[in-house]
Each structure stands twice: as structure tokens, then as C-alpha cells.
Structure 1
Amino acid sequence: MPSITVQLLRGRTVEQKRNFAAAVTAAAVAELGARPGDVRIAFEHIEPDDVANGGVLASEDASRSSVLSNLGHSSAASAGGPALAD
């Protein structure tokens, strides 16, 4: 029984999570030979202040400001965060 934990920034819609779960389940069936009903996916929601990429908090990374604003978070660029490239 594959048990898959997905950490993602809060703000994804139920439809996005539903579509993601269907795609990951299909991949687990195809690649692992799992039965669809045995694939368990758990979503863990995190805040931009709770994750850092390259040593920079997501909430302070201006290169991620469009993603954050699309998810309903205040923009790193408008918060005066550093402008860093991915």
C-alpha cells in the first residue's frame, strides 16, 4: 500500500488536489502495480514562513511572489523581501 505525503503551500483548491491525487494514484498503479484503492495520499499544508528554498523563506523570496499571490498570500515583493532568482 503506497502512502504518499505531499507538502504544499496553503491555498490550493480542492479541484487541484483532487486532480493531483488522481494523477499520482494512476502513476502508482502503473509504476508500482498498486491497486487504486490502496494508494493513500495525505496533503500537509504549510505556510510561506514555514519553508525555505536555498536558505530563503518562501515568504521573503520575491521570485516566488507570483505563486504566493496566486495562492492568496501576501507578495514577497510587496513585503520588501529580497529579489532572488531560482
Structure 2
Amino acid sequence: MPYVNIKITDEGVTREQKKQLIAGVTEVLQKTLGKNPKTTTVVIDEINVDNWGMGGLPVPEFRETLKQS
């Protein structure tokens, strides 16, 4: 009974894209590990970029450093 938690930023991911993520992850678990798709749970958490950090900075500030490189 696999449980997969996907965390993404909340930047315009569509319902269709989420549907594809859920189906794709479920399929990978079935093909790779032989898991039953009917008992596979996939949860998508959308995180505001101000609540997500990389390189010691909130994502918006981190992205600014990439632009300067």
C-alpha cells in the first residue's frame, strides 16, 4: 500500500498536470515494484514560494541570485 507525497510550488500547476503526476507515479510503482494501483495513494502538496527555501533563501530571492549569475 504505497503512499507518495509530492511537494511542488503553487505556481500555476493545472488540474490536468496533477492528474498526469498521479497517474504517472502510480504507473511507475506498478511497473517497478509490482504495486497494486488500486491501493497506491498519491498526495500533492502545493507550497507557496515564500514558504519554500533553497540555498538558505526563500525561493523568490534564490531565483534572483540565479538571474545574476
Cross-structure match for 1:6: 6
RMSD: 1.7
The TM-score normalised by the length of structure 1 is 0.69
How far off is 1:84 after superposition?
A: 2.6
The TM-score normalised by the length of structure 2 is 0.84
Unaligned segments of structure 1, at least 5 residues: 63-81
Structure with greater helix share of residues? 2
Query: 4+ residue runs of structure 1 moved beyond 4 angstroms?
Result: none
Unaligned segments of structure 2, at least 5 residues: none
Cross-structure match for 1:29: 30
Larger RCO: 1 or 2 (CA < 8 Å, sep 6+): 2
**Residue identity (%):** 29
Structure with greater strand share of residues? 2
